Chains A and B, each alone.
Chain A
């Protein structure tokens, strides 16, 4: 991974300035959510607007949590349930299938994995109408199951785990275990899973984030406000209160804050996850 850096490469202050600018731009929208939601509309609308947080944040937060017809607390819980279920299921099912695709011999294995990867090229909108009809027939409309069940497995997850297991687990190790009499499920659970735990965790994180931030599918499946996820609940704050930016921004801030807190703990893992998956060369 590490390369020798050519001698001419020195860091100039301009580079740091650029990085600082990008950092500022990356953070600013979050800061701005807080500024707007803690100031009055008047303070935001004057020119130039107030750039420092005001004292209204908790009033606005309370308004968001008690807004009529909006169930922000249940939305938070719903989103958490959906995200966690999808993440856990995806990691487990992807690891099981990925293990088989990487290490087990069965007929048609190559064809299957090629086929699965090929489907990743298809845009997700293609199947969305029949998927809706299917979910409706399964009576999962307006229920969290309608979000969780179709997302339990992904082609991407299986492909990712297959690559990881292939790269991180030497065949000799599995041969040895099998000669010692370990069964395939046992090998999977006691040898494979502990080794790929970290990468599985990263996959789970991405699945969790994707589920947390998904909007198109939840807005199709969910109908009653009590079942909404955060993203759908957020959109409710808009038409009801017109141009009350404070309320919307307060909602956006409350819906984003849990992710930012999570990010403090897992940010570096996500970075290595993205970089490990990149196309090299």
Chain B
């Protein structure tokens, strides 16, 4: 189940080191630097060592993905009996208003949880990178506390905090002069804000650490030469720090998108059907309900494929934009 869960673990290490690794041939000439194994350790042990992983990976990771594509072409009855219906599921799906609602909600929540969070995380990271900061390790560690909390526990707390009648958030807003109590469940945008704030709370520290690591890797000389050239702090941030974070921003965006398309527990805990006007029905909640509440496996599998397409398109767009920025940036 969690094979493909990206957010679950520590962030992926950079892809570039081995992508740019020299081809196999080069290794014999220079065995020290090239990532291509130890010359004297070869042969069948490699296969044997990879076998347990591969066996499990194929059965529980790969096969279900392929089979999912297969059943999306069927009217699939879990109690047995399935009929091939071609593209019917997709056709029905694209005419299902719930799909479009789910796409709208998912993207709204994604945008509300991604962009403010990213800006805050970059800001926090630039505070934390300061080597003269006291209690560095304390701040870094405390930032990660929200990330270890379960989504369920947090949804329970936040739905109380965001409560219409007795929630603290409304109390605080009242203190600032907003006297009508906002309904963070029934309202479309308010409910998205409530869910986005749960996601932001959970991930901001994690992403701050990612940005921090990336900032610490920027060579100090860049700043020195920038300040010699008379660049102000602000200019240094815009012209040195931000461009250096480009890959990290792409990475955080892609991981955030995959995570954003998986938002499920928060809305499901607020209301299992996605709210009275389906105001927070997300794509994964839609898929779950079609599959495991309505038992429409083929239909739900088609939703999964649509989600995958969205991830791929966004990753591609992201990639192209980053590419373009980097080619524009290289003077």
Contact = CB atoms under 8 A, between A and B. Distances in A.
A binds B: yes
Contacts of A106: 42-47, 50
Interface of A, secondary structure class, is helix
A190 interface: no
B144 to A, nearest CB: 6
Nearest to B226: A6
Interface in B10-56: 10-15, 17-18, 24, 31-32, 35-47, 49-50, 52-54, 56
B307 interface: yes
B64 interface: yes
A224 B227 CA distance: 65
Given A106-B42, A127-B68, A151-B2, A10 B9 contact: no
A48 B158 CA distance: 17
A151 B53 CA distance: 11
Centre residue among A18, A123, A133 by max chain B CB count within 10 A:
A123
Interface of B: 1-6, 8-15, 17-18, 24, 31-32, 35-47, 49-50, 52-54, 56-57, 59-65, 67-68, 71, 78, 124, 127-128, 130-134, 137, 139-146, 148-154, 156-158, 160-161, 165-166, 168, 171, 201, 204-206, 209-214, 216-220, 223-224, 227, 233, 236, 244, 247-248, 251, 258, 261-262, 264-265, 269, 284, 287-288, 291-292, 297, 300-301, 304-305, 307-308, 311-312, 315
Interface in A96-152: 96-97, 99-106, 109-110, 112-113, 116-117, 119-134, 147, 149-152
A33 B153 contact: yes
Name the 7 nearest CB pairs between A and B, nearest first: A106-B46, A127-B64, A100-B49, A210-B8, A97-B53, A278-B213, A252-B153
A203 B8 CA distance: 10
Given A106-B42, A267-B144, A279 B251 contact: yes
Nearest to A213: B150
A278 B11 contact: yes
A281 B39 contact: no
Interface string A24-37: 01110110110010
28 contacts: A3-B216, A4-B224, A6-B227, A11-B133, A15-B127, A29-B149, A96-B49, A97-B54, A100-B45, A103-B37, A105-B38, A116-B57, A124-B4, A126-B68, A130-B68, A133-B67, A155-B3, A184-B49, A203-B10, A213-B150, A215-B152, A216-B284, A217-B1, A253-B153, A263-B145, A278-B209, A279-B14, A280-B213
Nearest to A18: B127
Interface residues of A, number: 134
The dominant DSSP class at the B interface is: helix
Contacts of A16: 134
Contacts, number: 430
Contacts of B148: 209, 213, 259-260, 262-263, 270
Question: Most chain-B CB neighbours within 10 Å: which of A25, A184, A209, A216?
Answer: A216
A260 B35 CA distance: 39
A89 to B, nearest CB: 9
A159 B152 contact: no
Contacts of B141: 267-268, 271
